[in-house]
Amino acid sequence: MNSSNRTLFENSKYRLYSIYENVYLKSKDDLDEKEDVFVTSVYGDPDSGLISSGNNYIAVAGCGITIHFLTDRDSYELGTDPENILWTEGIYQSDEEDFNFVRFTAYTEENKIRVHRLDVFERKVEIL
């Protein structure tokens, strides 16, 4: 493994990793035959990432949030506009919530660090 590779998340089926600003997904099925899938590029390198329980989507934190769906490979980003960047870190999924929510920390407009919750399918962020 290249020394610039950084594992962001791993489960029994996948390994999510970054090489500098680029994030890739490696399937553990037939390791020799499948190429790694490019997920996203994160300005300033990704902070953290996860693969949802049920392996439905990937969430990557850093400069904004990137959501990448494993079923259709559709993606979207929040907080990456250069005029209004949301620096995020520590993304995780709580066992106490539905699988469509992820949590992360980020600064508010009042410059206070708070936990935020994103409804992945509705694309709505709330500060907790």
Running DSSP on this structure, what letter comes out for residue 87? B
Give the Cα separation of 28 and 26 in Å (integer): 6
Q: What's the first-to-final CA gap in the chain, in angstroms?
A: 39
**The pLDDT value given to residue 109:** 85
Sheet holding 37-41, edge to edge: 5-10, 14-19, 22-27, 37-41
How would you list the strands of the sheet with 124-127, edge to edge?
88-92, 101-107, 113-119, 124-127
Whether residue 75 lies inside any domain: the answer is: yes
Per-residue pLDDT of the chain (128 residues; tens, 9 = 90+): 555 789 999 999 999 999 999 999 999 886 666 789 999 999 999 999 999 988 999 999 999 999 999 999 999 999 999 998 999 999 999 887 788 999 999 998 899 999 999 999 999 999 99
Count Cα atoms within 13 angstroms, Cβ side, for 55: 12
Residue 121 resides in a domain: no
Is residue 91 a part of any domain in this protein?
A: yes
CB neighbour list of residue 14: distance below 8 Å, 6 or more residues apart: 25, 26, 27, 28, 51, 55
Whether 35 is covered by a domain: the verdict is yes
Quick check: is 76 in a domain?
Answer: yes
Query: What pLDDT, on the 0 to 100 scale, is given for residue 35?
Result: 84
Q: What pLDDT is stored for residue 32 in this prediction? A: 60
**Token representation of residue 110:** 């009042």
pLDDT of residue 96: 75
Domain tally for the chain? 1
Parent domain of 63: 5-95
Gap between the Cα atoms of 88 and 73, Å rounded: 22
Question: Token pair for residue 57?
Answer: 């989507």
